[in-house]
Amino acid sequence: MAKIKFTIITLFKEALKPYPDVSMMWKAAEKGIAEFDFVNLRDFGLGPHKSVDDTPYGGGDGMLLRCEPVFAAIESVKAKDPFAEVILPTPAGRLWTQNYARELAGDTQQSHYIILCPHYEGYDERILTLVDHKISLGHYVLTGGELPALIIIDSVVRLLPGVLGGETSAQIESFSDETNSEIEFPQYTKPADFRGMKVPDVLLSGNHGEIAKWREAQKRPAED
Ligand code: ADE
């Protein structure tokens, strides 16, 4: 098996599937570092309409994901890999950060994550009994878990050894502190002079010690 596997349980596989098929995610899969699998939640739906949601007890707007299809979908994956851990993207979860991504990427005990993508207005609370990681992508509300799933996968997979060219990009980031307050220094590529905007001389000097010092001094905090 690949170093890390993500099984994504979703109603919208068509929306998700193209992303891991390109660029770095594709490269990681080609190299056998990452594996992506999709489970259609609809396959576990109830009745002739394969229903996966229903109205909330006690009243209220919207529809909630029901337990039966979600439990059945997760159990079908766990039947093959009982140790897979379940991630639920939810605005009520732990905030996703670079350090959190490093935790998952560096967890040598765990190699298979099931990401359950909720939709509609939410999910039956009992679904949480299946969940190992509740993850929030930020203090805003999205319509579903698909975009968070892609962000989680991308930010973990790029940290795995062998995914990024030369290994250096992820290493550079390892200098960043707990809060990720200093993650970038300015970078330039050719041409050295573009419409009068010149690349700093030090970067053209070939003096690697000076370049490292300059980059350290230039690190800037993320904008709020
Ligand atoms: N689902 C809806 N909004 C979300 C958020 N901010 N983070 C994770 N999952 C979500």
What is residue 167's predicted lDDT score, i.e. its pLDDT? 54
pLDDT class of 23 with cuts at 50, 70, 90 = confident
Q: In the Cβ-directed half-sphere of 5, how many Cα atoms lie within 13 Å?
A: 17
Q: How far apart are CA 56 and CA 65, in angstroms?
A: 9
Cα 139 from Cα 164, distance rounded (Å): 29
How far apart are the CA of 149 and the centre of ligand 1, in A? 10
Q: Is the CB of 90 under 6 A from ligand 1?
A: yes
Of 121, 125, 117, 12, the closest CA to residue 64 belongs to 121
Write out the two tokens for 157.
């997979």
138 lines ligand 1 (CB under 6 A): yes
pLDDT tens, position by position, 146-155: 999 999 999 9
Superfamily of domain 182-221: tRNA(m1g37)methyltransferase, domain 2 (1.10.1270.20)
> Do the beta carbons of residue 111 and residue 5 sit within 8 Å?
yes
Nearest CA to ligand 1 atom 5: 91
Residue 180 and residue 19: Cα distance in Å, rounded?
A: 26
**Of 22-26, 152-156, 209-213, which range is least confident?**
22-26
Q: Is the confidence at residue 165, as pLDDT, over 80?
A: no
Ligand 1 touching residue 45 (CB < 6 A): no
Q: According to CATH, what is the number of the domain 4-157?
A: 3.40.1280.10
Find the 187 Cα to ligand 1 centroid distance in Å: 32
pLDDT (tens digit per residue) in 101-116:
999 999 988 899 999 9
| Structural contact between residues 53 and 98, judged by C-beta atoms closer than 8 angstroms | no
The yes-or-no answer to whether 4-157 and 182-221 have a common fold is no
Model pLDDT for residues 58-90, shown as the tens digit of each residue: 999 999 999 999 999 999 999 999 999 999 999
Please give the Cα distance from 188 to 104 (Å, whole number). Answer: 31
Indicate if ligand 1 lies below 6 Å from the C-beta of 137: yes
- Is the shortest distance between the CB of 115 and ligand 1 below 6 Å? no
Indicate the domain borders of the chain: 4-157, 182-221
**Ligand 1: does its nearest atom lie under 6 Å from the Cβ of 148?**
yes
